[in-house]
Amino acid sequence: MPNRNEPPLDTLDHNVQRVHAFERLEVDGVPPRALRGSLYRTGPGLLERFGQRVAHPFEADGLVTAVRFADDGVFGASRPVESPDFREEENAGRYLYSPSAALPRRLLNAMTGRVKSTGNTNLLSWQGHLLALVENALPVELDASTLDTIATRDFGVIDTAFSAHPRRVESLKTTFNFGQRGREFDLYAFPDEGPARRIGGFSAPWFGMVHDFIATDRHIVFAIGPAKLKPLTAMFGTDLSTFFRWDRNAGTAIVVVPLDDPGRAVQFLTETFWVWHFVNAFEDGAIIQVDLCRHDTFGALAAPSSAGPQHSKPELYRFALDPVRKTFRGKAMWSAPCEFPSVNPRRTGARQRYTWLQTFPDAGHAPGVARFDCETGAVDAWGAPQDHLGVEPIFVPDGEGEGDGWVLQMFQDPARRQSYLAVLDARRLADGPQCKVWFRQRVPMTFHGVFVTKGG
Ligand SMILES: [Fe+2]
């Protein structure tokens, strides 16, 4: 019999049931001996505090969930991101930030520019710092061994915001990112060694949502869809999904920033499309090849769910970007509903052969993971049972070959009402998980994560 207190099965519709430090997890199968380190993932796990439910999951406080593969077993933890703003709210006993706060406080926040660092979108590991990210606020540093929150960090350069999608270029040993202040964009470089620095900026053609970007060893590329902010609604409304207007005839703005001269950004409009996530980009003579998951519309904001995009079917595209002729022409590489892409981290900013993608239940497809071969078009895939709810697969390299490694992907099993992490051999996805690591609860949906190797 279902427990009457058990929350419904939409993964974005329940609060975390149990917050816990690292504890031993049950494992079905045998974890790979070579897989040592920790997976960290974050998502909107605290949808209700102070007896008040947030109107949109993007607003919720972050919950970081980790799985550690060690010599003596596999251990897991789920802890909230307790930024100073979060603690201020705990002390006050009510929401003080975001649309859940009382209107006078929201007006005060708007005047003073105060935003809560929820850390609910992504994690970055940089120079030994584990940082929880949300795109409109400062990063929050966590203790990687305990998930204790340490402090918000600006590293001496971040103005007010640090996007949740930093992009590394392996050949430059540098992670790039941006921060958005209305139409103004700040660009940052976080090298593997030495201090972080601001490398430039540009003004976008409108104030809208920008979730991701991509970088090569010579350029930074944005595709700014016409999801334009409605300032009054954002000021007085409560549901974040209503804060943006999809201006379908406005086109999508392409912005190309040369790394050797960031002040000379090229901007032009192309056909209207939306992108949540880029895959990778690389230089190809005078052309920049840009891979991304292309959406026709912006509708997914209204109902983000790990069951799949509800209002559009993203497809894997490759675009040829010519910054001189100002053209951006693309074609679908794979026409299956797919999102949350990744490549071997050693190939970022360079031509990759393989792209790993989350697949969604659809005709002929299951919730799971696929490896798309960009050279041959071949697909190797594994699907969980149709009613399991998956998230972004993370590729962990192991070996010299681009496809050598492991894929880590979390699912909710509705029958067991537990979450599990599937560990797959990236060379043979179709064989299915080599092992499954079980949490004792259903972990709320996570958006993104990072694997940090032992000692890395
Ligand atoms: Fe994202």
Give the confidence band of 89 by pLDDT, cuts at 50, 70, 90. very high
Mean pLDDT of 368-374: 97
- Residue 97's domain comprises 11-453
Q: What is the pLDDT of residues 234-293, one digit of tens each?
A: 888 888 888 999 999 999 999 999 999 999 999 999 999 999 999 999 999 999 999 999
Mean pLDDT of 85-94: 97
Q: How far is the CA of 225 from the centre of ligand 1 (A)?
A: 15
Distance CA(334)–CA(332), nearest Å, equals: 6
Mean pLDDT of the chain: 92
Q: What is the pLDDT of residue 6?
A: 39
Q: Are 281 and 214 in contact (CB under 8 A)?
A: yes
Q: What is the pLDDT of residue 17?
A: 87
Please state the length of the chain.
456
Determine, yes or no, domain membership for 1.
Answer: no
Q: What is the pLDDT of residue 241?
A: 83
Q: How far is the CA of 277 from the centre of ligand 1 (A)?
A: 6
Q: How far is the CA of 123 from the centre of ligand 1 (A)?
A: 11
Q: How far is the CA of 3 from the centre of ligand 1 (A)?
A: 33
Q: How far is the CA of 97 from the centre of ligand 1 (A)?
A: 22
Q: What is the pLDDT of residues 281-324, one digit of tens each?
A: 999 999 999 999 999 988 756 655 444 445 568 899 999 999 99
Q: Which is higher by pLDDT, 83 or 303?
A: 83
Q: How far is the CA of 408 from the centre of ligand 1 (A)?
A: 17
Distance CA(155)–CA(297), nearest Å, equals: 36
Q: How far is the CA of 5 from the centre of ligand 1 (A)?
A: 31
Determine, yes or no, domain membership for 143.
Answer: yes
Determine, yes or no, domain membership for 72.
Answer: yes
Q: Is 9 a residue whose pLDDT tops 50?
A: no
Distance CA(370)–CA(393), nearest Å, equals: 9
Q: How far is the CA of 65 from the centre of ligand 1 (A)?
A: 17
Q: How far is the CA of 40 from the centre of ligand 1 (A)?
A: 15
User: Would you give the distance in Å from CA 107 to the centre of its chain?
Assistant: 29
Q: In the chain, count of helices (H) and strands (E)?
A: 3, 35
Q: How far is the CA of 339 from the centre of ligand 1 (A)?
A: 10
Q: How far is the CA of 388 from the centre of ligand 1 (A)?
A: 21
User: Would you give the distance in Å from CA 82 to the centre of its chain?
Assistant: 19
Q: How far is the CA of 448 from the centre of ligand 1 (A)?
A: 7
Report the CATH number that the domain containing residue 288 is assigned in CATH.
Answer: 2.120.10.30
Determine, yes or no, domain membership for 381.
Answer: yes
Determine, yes or no, domain membership for 2.
Answer: no
Q: Which is higher by pLDDT, 301 or 187?
A: 187
Q: How far is the CA of 325 from the centre of ligand 1 (A)?
A: 30
**Sequential DSSP letters for 283-303:** EETTEEEEEEEEESSSGGGGS
Determine, yes or no, domain membership for 5.
Answer: no
φ, ψ at 180 (rounded to 5°): -110, 130
Q: How far is the CA of 214 from the centre of ligand 1 (A)?
A: 12
Q: How far is the CA of 134 from the centre of ligand 1 (A)?
A: 10
Q: How far is the CA of 150 from the centre of ligand 1 (A)?
A: 24
Determine, yes or no, domain membership for 4.
Answer: no
Determine, yes or no, domain membership for 3.
Answer: no
The pTM (predicted TM-score) of the whole model is 0.94
φ, ψ at 395 (rounded to 5°): -90, 130
Q: How far is the CA of 211 from the centre of ligand 1 (A)?
A: 6
Distance CA(18)–CA(443), nearest Å, equals: 9
Q: How far is the CA of 2 from the centre of ligand 1 (A)?
A: 33
Q: Is 383 a residue whose pLDDT tops 90?
A: yes
Distance CA(248)–CA(297), nearest Å, equals: 8
- Helix ranges (H only) for 95-218 are 103-112
Distance CA(28)–CA(422), nearest Å, equals: 10
Q: In this prediction, what percent of the chain has a pLDDT beyond 90? A: 84
Number of domains into which the chain is organized: 1
Q: How far is the CA of 410 from the centre of ligand 1 (A)?
A: 16
Report in angstroms the alpha-carbon separations of 168 from 173, 185, 285: 7, 18, 21
Q: What is the pLDDT of residue 303?
A: 52
Q: How far is the CA of 195 from the centre of ligand 1 (A)?
A: 26
Q: How far is the CA of 29 from the centre of ligand 1 (A)?
A: 31
Q: How far is the CA of 341 from the centre of ligand 1 (A)?
A: 10
Q: How far is the CA of 182 from the centre of ligand 1 (A)?
A: 19
Angle at 40 between CA 32 and CA 170, to 5 degrees: 85
Q: What is the pLDDT of residues 404-442, one digit of tens each?
A: 999 999 999 999 999 999 999 999 999 999 999 999 999
Q: How far is the CA of 4 from the centre of ligand 1 (A)?
A: 33
Q: How far is the CA of 268 from the centre of ligand 1 (A)?
A: 24
Mean pLDDT of 137-144: 98
Q: How far is the CA of 306 from the centre of ligand 1 (A)?
A: 12
Mean pLDDT of 382-409: 95
Q: How far is the CA of 92 from the centre of ligand 1 (A)?
A: 31
Mean pLDDT of 186-195: 98
Mean pLDDT of 13-25: 89
Q: Are 438 and 26 in contact (CB under 8 A)?
A: yes
Mean pLDDT of 373-396: 95
